[in-house]
Amino acid sequence: MVLRKLAVLLLVSFSFNLTLPASSQDLEKIVLTVSGNISSDAPVNLSLHELGKLPTKEIVTATPWHDGVVTFEGVSLDALMTHLGAEGTRADVVALNDYRSVIPISDFKASSPILAYKANGRYMSIRDKGPLFIIYPFDDDPELKTEIFYSRSVWQVRSMAIE
């Protein structure tokens, strides 16, 4: 009986840890810096905790980088731009490995991509293309399944400059 309770406790503990970053402190670490033509005079640094306070949106889609369909959760890039008071025509997005993609801000309304921080209910690690990944709803619109939109799907996003 004691072993069974211990096994259940370990299983629950293990399952809980899969849905959160390594620690609650990880939620407070800065994962995104947004600068440029925003309402703040200084760059805005955001943590997963702060991003999680914004309205969340899910996209269920297959991608060229995953096996099968994945449920991504994050903040709408359009909502993020509104939150930051962004006024510009493009976002220069940079990844942790210095990959760069310039995304027209018009995409944020027209195609409804999200800045995902969870995949299948789990926070994404750097190893899993996280902590932030721009995801378009590829399965909802076949016109998004092109190299142009794939190149705009930046993973391991670290910064955006609004121009």
3-state secondary structure string across the chain: CHHHHHHHHHHHHHHHHHHCCCCHHHHHCEEEEEEECCCCCCCEEEEHHHHHHCCEEEEEEECCCCCCEEEEEEEEHHHHHHHHCCCCCEEEEEECCCCEEEEECHHHHHCCCEEEEEECCEECCHHHCCCCEEECCHHHCHHHCCHHHHHHCCECEEEEEEC
pLDDT of residue 28: 87
Handedness of CA 36, 53, 116, 12 (dihedral sign): positive
CATH number of 22-162: 3.90.420.10
The tokens of 72 are what?
A: 């991504």
Domain residues of the chain, as ranges? 22-162
Amino acid at residue number 157: V
pLDDT tens for the 163 residues of the chain, in order: 544 443 433 333 333 334 445 456 688 899 999 999 999 999 999 999 999 999 999 999 999 999 999 999 999 999 999 999 999 999 999 999 999 999 999 999 999 999 999 999 999 999 999 999 999 999 999 999 999 999 999 999 999 999 9
